[in-house]
Amino acid sequence: MPGYIKRINPDTLHATPGYHHIVVVQAGRTAHLAGQCPLDLAGNLVGPGDVLAQTDQVAANALAALAAVNAGPEQVVRAVIYVVTGEPGILGEVSKRLRASSLAPAFNGASTLLGVAQLGYSGQLVEVELSAALEG
């Protein structure tokens, strides 16, 4: 974890399972990534009807977006995960899949997991929005 990012769980708030209540960027710049969707390079929806396949594509796209600004998942200070909720337990499955992926360090900061009715593309089941702290 870069030294210019401080992650805090104060004693005055409940203990958290794998994330921090507060993230302070002590120096540098920030990059705010648009919601990363399960689209391939040609703009085609990956894994129609398969939320876990879509989650994998979203993670890959998020890593590529971070790399475009010379950042990695350990520099993410805010993550929001949106999941179309149609079946019980799907939120937990998506969260578990992301936390087991190469993007996992991104969810160590301040994060929010939301169940939604629908997302921007027809058939889209998951999206991840990130903010990262950059050096200098």
> Which structural domains are found in the chain, ordered by start?
5-134 (3.30.1330.40)
> Which parts of the chain sit beneath pLDDT 70?
1
DSSP for 121-133 reads: STT--EEEEEEEE
> Would residue 93 be called left, alpha or beta, if left means φ above 0 and alpha means ψ between -120 and 50 degrees?
alpha
Q: What is the pTM of this model?
A: 0.89
| pLDDT for res 135 | 85
| pLDDT for res 1 | 61
